[in-house]
Structure 1
Amino acid sequence: MKRFIFLLSAIMLTGCSREFVESMYDVNYEPTNRFAKNLAQLPGQYTKDTAAFDALVNSFSGNIEKRWGSKEIRIAGKSNYVKYIDNYLSRTEVNFSKGTIVVETIASTEPKEHLRKAIITTLLTPDNPSQVDLFSSKSIKLEGQPFLYKQVLDEDNQPIQWSWRANRFADYLIAHKLKVKTVDFKKAYYVEIPMVQDQIRIRSYQYASIVRKASRKYGIPEDLIYAIIKTESSFNPYAVSWANAYGLMQVVPKTAGRDVFKLVKNRSGQPSPEYLFNPENNIDTGTAYFYLLKNRYLKGVRNPLSLEYSMISAYNGGAGGVLNTFSRNRTRAMRDLNSLQPNQVYWALTKKHPSSESRRYLEKVTKFKKEFNANKT
């Protein structure tokens, strides 16, 4: 218990990074109520004033709890999008892993009209994360291409791009799919909207030209970039974690982002959340970090396949975690790693890595990489 309290105190005092947290604990980066106070900061706000940010996030989670109760706090994460509107009376959760969308309201007056507005907002939310404040109930300016375009079909099996179609589908859902439940002693009206079966593939196509450009620029295979994005965010451009990781490739500004700025781009400082919420910047930065892993931190790994396994593992748990799998002594670790066949390196990194999350991570990425190549043929 003391160690847990120390961890939370250290995070609040120093800021959190994936490497710092994983050096102490195996962490599932999906959002939980327990870690609501340590959410990543808002785009463009409180980049230096951490006290102001902590106050803001406490207020955000407190507003949710006031409306929905302590057991019904939902917050955006790596593979889910959550947005509150209507002074926290209505919300949407898109679960990209399950392919489901739940839109609900606890408004006590004219609940169907509140729900209708929330459905329309969900269907027309733009594909521009920098314009959507995930950590407030601010309204969204509905313009440009919807980020759920082609991933949801209306009652006529048509994609929803325009306001008239979104309005009509909202009316249909309320007339035919409306459900009611009790939330914190309140009546909640909601609808469940299924996403199309190939919703992940549809989102991945949006970034094909960006992935190709980054692949050629840094010499990192396209299939590896796609597999990392699928593992990190399920191609959710709004992905954010309490560990201060942002966007499609879940780049941590203070670690990978800072390294890329300094060692690849010759820039000072670190990327801002706005910078990383831009898909092109995010994929470029994440791929550039792979370039550093390949050509700097793990350049001593001789076998190309062993190097790839090491890079994948290091993207999640750091290069130090990879080497510590083989020995605490860096020179000996590299020697031992190079003495093994690639399948033995894979076995060690998926069975003996200090972090259980990093062990699973390498398995997921290699699986998605195989799936990507199988679907290409």
Structure 2
Amino acid sequence: MKRKAILLAALILSGCSREFVEEHVYQVDYTTTNRFANNLAPLPGQFTKDTVAFDQLMNSFSGQVKRYWGDDDALVASKRQYVKYTDGYQSRAHVDFERGVVIVETVAKTEPTAHLRQAIATTLLTPEDPAGVDLYSDSDIKLDGKPFLYGQILDQEGKPIEWSWRANRFAEYLVNAKVHTRNERYHKVWYVEIPMVADHADKRGYKYASIVRDAARRYGIAEDLIYAIIKTESSFNPYAVSHANAYGLMQVVPNTAGADVFKLVKNKPGKPSPEYLFDPARNIDIGTAYFYLLRNRYLKDVSNPTSLHYSMISAYNGGTGGVLKTFNADRKRAMNDLNRLQPNQVYWALTNKHPKAEARRYLQKVTAFQKEFQQGKL
């Protein structure tokens, strides 16, 4: 049932020589088509928002949330915010990966501390596998396997939480010693705030070291770039979803990047499902394979390796078309103009003149995170 629920949410809510290896091992088709005329007019980018589908989801799901939490206190999961409702929408867990804090709350009118205690224990034991958690309902979570937050939260004794007895004991401690309340317009909220350890992002990132290493080798993409993209896109949140219909660690959009990788790299029909993309290994594989396509198909005419690197990062967020429009409205001339510039000039243009402000900031963030990784930090 939970797999079906995830798929349903997807429907509503709608990444020898080198040439020999590329063409024969990965079966990448470099033939020019009308869709990719002269390799200068590819898709607008993997982040193509499906506004209608997203609005349908929000109208359905948020209606239930607002019934209990009101218009001003409703939260929905996003790229760096895990939000899961349980207990008939009366309780919720909110993991803020940017602030490094876990907030567990309830609006239950009877025995609120009992509801809160159960919600805390459930949050602490939520598993690593996103396939078992439906973020768009109040369905129960199957508490099986190592917890997602293991090592990122420590109990009152400074111990990581893996087993139910420790989670329940910590929940009891929090309810007795750390409960806060606040009054919203139509309801009272009982909540606790649990700080995450200082290096919580690193702990999440290290989980995927072997997967990143394998993907880097498979597609010839630098490990530090993969890590930087994951940190920028999701802060290593495998439950990440976004309004752009993107899923998982590298925020892959099924209809664009996912479909392209299936067709051009995997030689498979169709597109990856959200369930497929919530699997960390598959998500990182698809996201890295999309960088492979950016380098070897969509942007292969960029002559300088460093300029190509900057262009790939920018295109992952704003599309190849956005990269080219930065340099010239005529896409064929744009490639020539780009190739006449030094890499530092290409970087300046993409971070100052790109048509989309988000893409300008994106390149700055990713390159900064790359430097952190090169210095031994995720």
TM-score range, shorter chain: 0.7 to 0.9
Q: Does 1:44 align with 2:7?
A: yes
1: distance between equivalents of 2:99 and 2:86? 23
Q: What SS does the corresponding residue of 2:154 show, helix, strand or coil?
A: coil
1: distance between equivalents of 2:335 and 2:276? 35
2: distance between equivalents of 1:244 and 1:227? 21
2: distance between equivalents of 1:283 and 1:304? 23
1: distance between equivalents of 2:228 and 2:95? 21
2: distance between equivalents of 1:147 and 1:46? 21
Letter in 1 for 2:7: G
Q: Does 1:360 align with 2:323?
A: no
What residue number does 2:153 align with?
152
For 1:313-372, what per-residue CA distance to the aligned partner results, in whole angstroms no more than 9, with x for missing partners?
A: 000000010010001112211111111111110000000000000000000000000011
Letter in 2 for 1:152: I
2:54/2:245 contact within 8 Å kept: no
What residue number does 1:286 align with?
287
For 1:241-262, what per-residue CA distance to the aligned partner results, in whole angstroms no more than 9, with x for missing partners?
A: 1210000000001110010001
Letter in 2 for 1:196: V
Letter in 2 for 1:201: D
Deviation of 1:185 (Å)? 2.6
Q: What SS does the corresponding residue of 2:6 show, helix, strand or coil?
A: coil
2: distance between equivalents of 1:229 and 1:332? 33
2: distance between equivalents of 1:342 and 1:53? 38
2: distance between equivalents of 1:232 and 1:55? 24
Deviation of 1:48 (Å)? 5.3
1: distance between equivalents of 2:283 and 2:119? 29
2: distance between equivalents of 1:339 and 1:42? 51
Q: Does 1:325 align with 2:332?
A: no
1: distance between equivalents of 2:337 and 2:58? 46
Deviation of 1:297 (Å)? 0.3
1: distance between equivalents of 2:244 and 2:324? 23
What residue number does 2:257 align with?
256
Alignment of 1:1-377 (within 5 A): 43-45=6-8, 57-375=58-376
Letter in 1 for 2:323: V
**For residues 64 and 305 of structure 1, do their structure 2 counterparts lie closer, same or farther at Cα, with a shift above 3 Å needed?**
same
Q: Could you list the runs of 5+ residues in structure 1 that have no partner in the other structure?
A: 1-40
2: distance between equivalents of 1:53 and 1:338? 39
**For residues 126 and 314 of structure 1, do their structure 2 counterparts lie closer, same or farther at Cα, with a shift above 3 Å needed?**
same
1:105/1:190 contact within 8 Å kept: yes
2: distance between equivalents of 1:169 and 1:376? 30
Deviation of 1:58 (Å)? 2.5
2: distance between equivalents of 1:133 and 1:376? 32
2:124/2:147 contact within 8 Å kept: yes
2: distance between equivalents of 1:101 and 1:143? 20
For 1:101-125, what per-residue CA distance to the aligned partner results, in whole angstroms no more than 9, with x for missing partners?
A: 1101010111000000000000000
2: distance between equivalents of 1:55 and 1:197? 38
Deviation of 1:126 (Å)? 0.3
Deviation of 1:132 (Å)? 0.1
1:42/1:273 contact within 8 Å kept: no
Which consecutive segments of 4 or more residues in structure 1 shift more than 3 A?
46-57
2: distance between equivalents of 1:356 and 1:81? 25
Letter in 1 for 2:312: M
- RCO higher in structure (CA 8 A, sep ≥6): 2
1: distance between equivalents of 2:161 and 2:227? 26
Deviation of 1:376 (Å)? 5.6
Q: What SS does the corresponding residue of 1:63 show, helix, strand or coil?
A: helix
**Quick one: percent identity of the two aligned structures?**
64
Deviation of 1:183 (Å)? 2.2
**For residues 97 and 53 of structure 1, do their structure 2 counterparts lie closer, same or farther at Cα, with a shift above 3 Å needed?**
closer
Letter in 1 for 2:346: V
1:46/1:53 contact within 8 Å kept: no
2:13/2:245 contact within 8 Å kept: no
2: distance between equivalents of 1:46 and 1:159? 32
2: distance between equivalents of 1:48 and 1:78? 19
2: distance between equivalents of 1:190 and 1:223? 38
Letter in 2 for 1:45: L
Q: What SS does the corresponding residue of 1:193 show, helix, strand or coil?
A: strand
Q: What SS does the corresponding residue of 1:241 show, helix, strand or coil?
A: coil
2:54/2:243 contact within 8 Å kept: no
